[in-house]
Chains A and B, each alone.
Chain A
């Protein structure tokens, strides 16, 4: 398995634009997580899904952020409109079952100018 796959790897966008980050979890994994990494705040859990259903979105910063998981092999994290303070690395991760190892993607490096 190629692991968790994220796209794009790098994105530079202007303030106010819509940004969509994509994630393909490891096949067979039923948990999917979106994390954000910044120098100031470290790694923060934004939202996670179990069997495509959002379980906890308490980490989503505000209404500009939304995440979907239409099927077991695909998830999106959308920011609309984007702001410079959204600049960060966004990691997608997945795991099989509860309590098992969580595997991370390589991250999407977002810069909003």
Chain B
């Protein structure tokens, strides 16, 4: 079965500290992985996808097929990064399966 696991419900860090939001997946095929972000009471929006291999707002994520992971990282957290982050896996190219989400709280 396809599954996305985000083990942390809440991650609290100080401003300027490194951030790593963990995501592990199980999928028998070639997955496409995404990170979506939801700021307070706003719509979900795509942060990044693994195939584009880009950095958005200082965040990066590398697909590690050996460890079946797609962790989201940022070297220096900013207060405006506080949000809910969802890791998602795409099956058959169009259907997203989401993890439970991790709340990132950046403290000043």
Interface positions of A (Cβ within 8 A of B): 3-4, 31, 33, 35, 42-45, 48, 50, 56, 91, 93, 95, 97-107
Q: Binding site of A, secondary structure by majority: helix, strand, loop or mixed?
A: strand
Chain B residues lying within 8 Å of A98, measured Cβ to Cβ, are: 92-94
Across the A-B interface, give the 4 residue pairs with the lowest CB-CB distance, nearest first.
A99-B93, A98-B93, A43-B98, A42-B100
Binds A, one of B11-19, B42-50, B56-64, B74-82: B42-50
Interface residue B10 (Cβ < 8 Å from any Cβ of A): no
Chain B residues lying within 8 Å of A48, measured Cβ to Cβ, are: 94-95
Chain A residues lying within 8 Å of B46, measured Cβ to Cβ, are: 101-103
The answer for the CA separation of A102 and B92 in the assembled complex, in Å, is 13
| Contact A104–B43 (Cβ < 8 Å) | yes
The answer for the CA separation of A83 and B88 in the assembled complex, in Å, is 29
Q: Which of B7-53 contact A (CB under 8 A)?
A: 32, 36, 42-46, 49
> In the complex, how many angstroms separate the beta carbon of B106 from the nearest chain A beta carbon?
21
* Nearest CB in chain B to that of A107: its residue: B43
| Contact B43–A56 (Cβ < 8 Å) | no
The answer for the CA separation of A45 and B99 in the assembled complex, in Å, is 12
Interface residue B70 (Cβ < 8 Å from any Cβ of A): no
| Contact A102–B96 (Cβ < 8 Å) | yes
